[in-house]
């Protein structure tokens, strides 16, 4: 062990895996007064970190896992920042072997929460603690202050809390980190955070699409619109960076950058997991699921090319026939409404997951720790916090009195925008499906009654009646009499 450490002989925290996220996190710990042990499978990355940033704080670099573990203060605390999947399992096994009873292994990657539940059991069986921690904020957040969502045993949080608080983002003096709940709770919540992020990005994309191809505005002009929006209810990191991206020109051609970027959106899969889990739990996270589908559709390059060759009839497309400024304001309100639905649905999924797995997640904690550091940070989260402060058992976020009041002002513009998009032939999957979700929630009667009738017809699946208790069936192929089952 050659050291740059000065503060103590042993490190308060260790980081395994020194790609960009791991290095930035290690630097953040060091810059905040912690002695940090660092280790990477290939020693070149460790050496590069020390030579480029060793002067930012106290580091103890190691070239073997054993040296790394020996350089940690007890109970040892090591954060794994390696590729999700098999690499994470391999490193957990190495650390478990080298560590002792009571030491804490933290997985800071984007693990699937069911893997985290499994790993926690395996590690706990060997007397070590395992904490799956969601870390949001990308590279910049890891370096300057992320939002951190740790799960695992409450006991580990006692030890880990202060050190994580030392590197997390802060809003109004409150660090953006708290213990979310046992085993996989942290990674689950981070997964839904990412799902909400997909929806938030998609609704911004739909607003852009309408202003660009519906109202015929240029990217630079739309950038100004987003800048204005960022000064109001929509004030958020994603709106802010949208303005930046739209204002950017291509250094090669001078064209708006957005026009030279291939319109096929990628993903690493956390949005897809959120949608799959929503289906598993039976929670209608329509905004998130439509956003995942929208990315998939954008990347269906061959199908899109075939459809673009004039293959599919467009029907009658009408020009926008309203005042541009009014349309821009309507689009802002539609974006706000669809965003509200996506968050409301995301919080529903968190509640359902928390109930299913017995995590006792407090939605107020999320609204607090997502205010800074993470990609979905927004002023709006203060309102969400207030909503759950006023009623911790809100049946849905949109039923909070403040948000209901907002919806009064949003609903008509939202309907107008969905109609206009339809007539313009422009796709608005999340604006439109969120409106259907909203109207479904409000509807006194849903066609589910008819579906139950159909199910009883072809599969004798039975139905319930509105006028009395019991389970019923019609003898469809016989005399069509009613039988109580």
**16-33 b/e with 16+ CB inside 10 Å = b?**
bbbeebbbbbbbbbbbee
On whether 82 is known to bind a ligand per the annotation, the reply is yes
CA distances to 28, 85, 111, 156, 381 from 179, in Å: 20, 24, 17, 9, 18
Residue 48 binds ligand ATR (CB under 6 A): no
User: Is 371 annotated in some ligand binding site?
Assistant: no
DSSP string over 224-257: HHHHHHTTTTT-BHHHHHHHHHHH-B-TTT-SBH
For residue 7, state whether it binds ligand ATR (rule: CB under 6 A): no
Look up residue 451 and give its two tokens: 């579906």
Annotated catalytic residue: which of 120, 197, 206, 349? Answer: 197
**Per rule CB under 6 A, is residue 47 in the interface with ligand ATR?**
no
220 is a site residue for ligand ATR (CB under 6 A): no
The secondary structure element, H or E, covering residue 414 is: helix 401-424
Shorter beta-carbon distance to ligand ATR: residue 90 or 396: 90
Number of residues that bind ligand ATR (CB under 6 A): 14
Q: Scan residues 71-110 and list those touching ligand ATR (CB under 6 A).
A: 82-83, 87, 90-91
Q: Give the single-character DSSP code of 419.
A: H
Contact call for residues 177 and 147 (beta carbons, < 8 A): yes
Nearer Cβ to ligand ATR (63/165): 63
CB of 446 to ligand ATR, least distance (A): 44
Question: Looking only at residues 10 through 39 of this chain, which bind ligand ATR when binding is defined by CB under 6 A?
Answer: 17-21
Is residue 484 part of the annotated active site? The answer reads no
Residue 266 assigned ligand-binding role: no
The DSSP output letter for 129 is E
**21 labelled binding-site residue:** yes
The set of residues, in sequence order, having a beta carbon less than 8 Å from that of 217 and lying 6+ positions away, is 211, 225, 324
Considering the candidates 190, 206, 349, 351, report the single residue annotated as catalytic: 190
197 noted as active-site residue: yes
473 in a known ligand binding site: no
The nearer residue to ligand ATR, 62 or 178, going by C-beta atoms, is: 62
Residues recorded for the chain: 485
Helix (H, G, I), strand (E, B) or coil at 170: strand
> Given the complex with ligand ATR, which of 83 and 471 has the nearer CB atom?
83
Ramachandran assignment for 145, one of left (phi > 0), alpha (psi -120 to 50 degrees), beta (any other): left
Please give the annotated binding residues, written as ranges: 17-22, 40-42, 82-84, 110, 136-138, 193-194, 198, 268, 295, 455, 461
Please give the annotated binding residues for substrate, written as ranges: 110, 136-138, 193-194, 198, 268, 295, 455, 461
Enumerate the active-site residues: 190, 197
Which residues bind to ligand ATR, rule: CB under 6 A? 17-21, 40-42, 45, 82-83, 87, 90-91
């Amino acid at each position: 062990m050659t050291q740059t450490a000065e503060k103590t002989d042993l490190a308060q925290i260790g980081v395994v895996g020194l790609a960009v996220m791991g290095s930035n996190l290690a630097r953040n710990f060091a810059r905040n007064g912690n002695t940090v042990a660092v280790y990477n499978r290939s020693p070149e990355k460790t050496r590069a970190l020390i030579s480029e940033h060793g002067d930012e704080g106290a580091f103890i670099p190691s070239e073997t896992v054993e040296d790394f573990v020996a350089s940690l203060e007890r109970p040892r605390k090591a954060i794994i920042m390696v590729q999700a999947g098999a690499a994470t399992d391999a490193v957990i096994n190495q650390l478990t072997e080298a560590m002792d009873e009571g030491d804490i292994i933290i997985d800071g990657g984007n693990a699937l929460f069911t893997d985290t539940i499994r790993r926690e059991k395996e590690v706990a069986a060997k007397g070590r603690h395992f904490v799956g921690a969601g870390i949001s904020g990308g590279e910049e957040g890891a370096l300057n202050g992320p939002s951190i969502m740790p799960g695992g045993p409450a006991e580990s949080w006692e030890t880990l809390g202060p050190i994580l608080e030392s590197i997390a983002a802060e809003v109004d003096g409150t660090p953006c980190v708290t213990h979310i709940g046992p085993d996989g709770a942290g990674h689950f919540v981070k997964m839904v955070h990412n799902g909400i992020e997909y929806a938030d990005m998609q609704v911004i994309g739909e607003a852009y699409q309408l202003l660009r191809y519906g109202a015929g505005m240029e990217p630079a002009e739309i950038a100004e619109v987003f800048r204005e929006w960022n000064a109001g209810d929509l004030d958020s990191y994603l709106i802010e960076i949208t303005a930046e991206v739209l204002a950017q020109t291509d250094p090669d051609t001078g064209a708006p950058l957005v026009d030279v970027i291939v319109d096929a959106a990628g993903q690493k899969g956390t949005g897809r997991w959120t949608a799959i889990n929503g289906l598993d739990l039976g929670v209608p996270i329509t905004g998130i699921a439509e956003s995942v589908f929208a990315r998939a559709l954008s990347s269906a390059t061959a199908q899109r090319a075939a459809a673009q060759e004039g293959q599919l009839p467009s029907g009658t497309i009408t020009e926008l026939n309203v005042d541009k400024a009014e349309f821009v304001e309507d689009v802002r309100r539609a974006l706000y409404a669809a965003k509200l639905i996506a968050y409301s649905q995301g919080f529903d999924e968190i509640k359902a997951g928390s109930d299913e797995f017995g995590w006792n997640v407090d939605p107020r904690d999320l609204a607090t720790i997502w205010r800074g550091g993470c990609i979905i940070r927004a002023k709006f989260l203060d309102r969400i916090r207030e909503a759950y402060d006023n009623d911790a058992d809100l049946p849905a976020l949109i039923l909070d009195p403040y948000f209901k009041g907002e919806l009064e002002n949003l609903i008509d513009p939202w309907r107008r925008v969905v109609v206009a998009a339809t007539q313009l032939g422009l796709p608005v999957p999340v604006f439109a499906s969120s409106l259907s979700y909203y109207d479904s929630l409000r509807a006194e009667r849903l066609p589910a009654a008819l579906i139950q009738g159909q199910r009883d017809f072809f599969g004798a699946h039975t139905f319930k009646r509105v006028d009395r208790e019991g389970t019923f069936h019609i003898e469809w192929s016989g005399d069509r009499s009613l039988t109580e089952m």
